[in-house]
Structure 1
Amino acid sequence: MTSPTQQNRQLVLDAFDTLFGKRDYTAAAEFWAADYVQHSRHIPPGREGLFGLIRSLPDTLRYENQLAVADGDYVMLFGRYSGTGTPAAVVADVVRIEDGRLVEHWDVWEDEATRGESAADAPMFGAHFPTPG
C-alpha cells in the first residue's frame, strides 16, 4: 500500500515528466492547480506563467531528476535542467501539493560548474562534470 506522502512524491515526478519531458500542456494542466502560486525568480506567476516559459524554451530542454524527497504535502526534487543554450542548472525544486495538484513552488537555482570552475573538484550533479561549451 502506498502512503499519501509516497503518492505525492510520484505525483510531482509524473508532473515534471509530463511538462518538461513530454511537453504535454493539456495533460500538465491536470497536475498544476489553476491558482498555482509561483515563488521562483525565474518563472512568471501562475500556471500559465510556467507553461509560457516552457513553451518559449527550445525543444531540447531536458530535466533530469536525481533525488525526490517527500514530507507530507511537500516534495523536493533535486535535478538538472539543460538544453536551453545556457549553462545547465542544478536546482532544488520544492512543491506543495493540495487535493492532488501542485499548488505552490519554490526553487534554489545554480549554474552547473564544469571541472575547471569547481574549487571542490567534485561534480554538482551525478558522477560526472558537464562537457564545457
Structure 2
Amino acid sequence: MSNKELVQKFYDDIFINGDLSNLNNVMKENYIQHNPDCEDGRIGFEKFIKHFLSLKPKFEIINISADGNMVYVFFKCIVNDKHINKVCDIYRIEDDMIAEHWDIIEHNVENKKSNNSNGLF
C-alpha cells in the first residue's frame, strides 16, 4: 500500500466511518502530534478523535498528495451541521504507519466573503 493509500484508508475508516478498530495497524504507538488540542501518542489521538466524532463531522476531501514519506490532505469539514472548516493535514509516514501530524485550519469559513470568484475550495 502506498503512503497516499494508507492515509486515504485512515480517513475512510476513522474520520468518515468512525471505525477505530484498525488504528493499531495504521498509526504508530508513539505518534507525534503538533495540534495543540491533541495529546501525543495513539492513545492521545483516540481521546481526541472520540470527542471530534461527537461533533458529527462531514468530510469532503478535495485532494490527497504525497511526496516521499509526507502526505498532504486538503479537505472541507462541516461540524455540528453548520460550521465549515478549511483544513490541510500533513502526515509523516514511517515504517508504513502514520508517525507524525501537523495541520492548518481555517475555522468557520461559511460566511467568508471572497475578493475573487475562485471560491474557498
In which range does the TM-score fall when normalised by the shorter chain? Answer: 0.7 to 0.9
* More strand as a share of residues: 2
Q: Which residue of 1 aligns with 2:113?
A: 117
Contact 2:30/2:40 (CA < 8 Å) preserved in 1? no
The structure-2 alpha-carbon separation of the partners of 1:116 and 1:31, relative to structure 1 and needing over 3 Å to count, comes to closer
Contact 2:69/2:94 (CA < 8 Å) preserved in 1? yes
Task: Using the TM superposition, give the Cα deviation of residue 88 of structure 1 relative to its aligned residue in structure 2, in angstroms.
Answer: 1.7
Larger radius of gyration: 1
TM-score by length of 1: 0.78
RMSD: 2.1
Render the CA deviation track for 1:53-96: whole Å, top value 9, x for unaligned: 22113262222211111011000010122233662211111100
The answer as to 2:80 corresponding to 1:84 is yes
TM-score by length of 2: 0.85
Task: Using the TM superposition, give the Cα deviation of residue 121 of structure 1 relative to its aligned residue in structure 2, in angstroms.
Answer: 4.9
Percent identity, please.
27
The count of residues paired between Structure 1 and Structure 2 equals 120
Contact 2:92/2:101 (CA < 8 Å) preserved in 1? yes
Unaligned runs of 5+ in 2: none
Which residue among 98, 104, 109 is the counterpart of 1:108? 104
